Chain A
Amino acid sequence: KNEVEQSPQNLTAQEGEFITINCSYSVGISALHWLQQHPGGGIVSLFMLSSGKKKHGRLIATINIQEKHSSLHITASHPRDSAVYICAGSNYGGSQGNLIFGKGTKLSVKP
């Protein structure tokens, strides 16, 4: 069964802390998405990566295809980073748009 597992499910941090959210998947995935869902429900795509590392501002995403693992890092965290972070993988042969979604990591950054 294709699965995407995220950890931790919930994460509370103090402002300024370095944060890591992990994503592991059970089968080979050709690409992995990191999404951010704010309390209002809107979702923003942060990264889509198939190898290596990508950086945007204070956010860094890495992926190791061989180890079937990806991480999302947030440096110098801020209360506005509070959101649910979702990873989603697309596996070889999967139909378009049918990403396999993790259940999300709820991050709360306290001032």
Chain B
Amino acid sequence: SQTIHQWPATLVQPVGSPLSLECTVEGTSNPNLYWYRQAAGRGLQLLFYSVGIGQISSEVPQNLSASRPQDRQFILSSKKLLLSDSGFYLCAWSAGQATNEKLFFGSGTQLSVL
């Protein structure tokens, strides 16, 4: 069966520090991978998606970046965090286009930038 792992679960970082959140998927090949953010009191927002190794599409301009060094690994990074980067970050995967397939979410990372 397929599983998705996301870590860390919580993170407190000072403004200006770097960020690295990691997500891995097991039990499937060539998944579509996504990073979402949920700011307090707001809905989910797509940040990045990837349809294959090294292929990253960005939906929202920001100081975050994403990388997919391996088929089932998706990393969210920042060189210098801003206060506005605080939020709940979720990794997800789907077997095909999320427009036509169910999404499977990781357990999320609560990021607080102070």
Identify the A interface with B (CB < 8 A): 30-31, 33, 35, 40-45, 47-48, 50, 86, 88, 90, 94-99, 101-104
Q: Is residue B97 within 8 Å, beta carbon to beta carbon, of the partner chain?
A: yes
Q: Check if A41 sits within 8 Å of B59, measured CB to CB.
A: no
Most-contacted residue by chain A among B45, B46, B88, B106 (CB, 10 A) = B46
A97 and B34 in contact (CB under 8 A), knowing A45-B103, A48-B101, A102-B43?
yes
Chain A, Cβ-Cβ closest to B89: A41
Q: Is B28 in contact with chain A by the CB < 8 A criterion? A: no
Q: Which among A30, A31, A42, A98 is the interface contact of B59 at CB below 8 angstroms?
A: A98
Q: Which among B57, B94, B106, B108 is the interface contact of A95 at CB below 8 angstroms?
A: B57
A-B contact pairs, 28 of them (CB 8 A): A30-B100, A31-B100, A33-B103, A35-B105, A40-B107, A41-B107, A42-B105, A43-B108, A45-B103, A47-B102, A48-B101, A48-B103, A50-B100, A86-B43, A90-B100, A96-B57, A96-B98, A97-B46, A97-B92, A97-B98, A98-B49, A99-B44, A99-B46, A99-B98, A99-B99, A101-B43, A101-B44, A104-B43
The digit string for B24-51, where 1 denotes a CB below 8 A from any CB of A, is: 0000000010100000001111100101
Would you call A95 and B59 a contact (CB within 8 A)? yes
Contact, CB under 8 Å: B104 / A45? yes
For chain B, give the interface size range: 20 to 34
Residues of chain B with a CB closer than 8 A to A103's CB: 42-43
**Would you call B49 and A96 a contact (CB within 8 A)?**
yes
Point out the residues of chain A lying under 8 angstroms from B45, CB to CB: 101
Contact indicator B32/A97 (Cβ below 8 Å)? yes
State whether the Cβ of B86 lies closer than 8 Å to any Cβ in chain A: no
CA distance in complex: A86, B88 (Å): 15
Minimal beta-carbon separation of A51 from chain B (angstroms): 13
Given A31-B100, A86-B43, A86-B44, are A96 and B32 also a contact pair (CB < 8 Å)?
Answer: yes
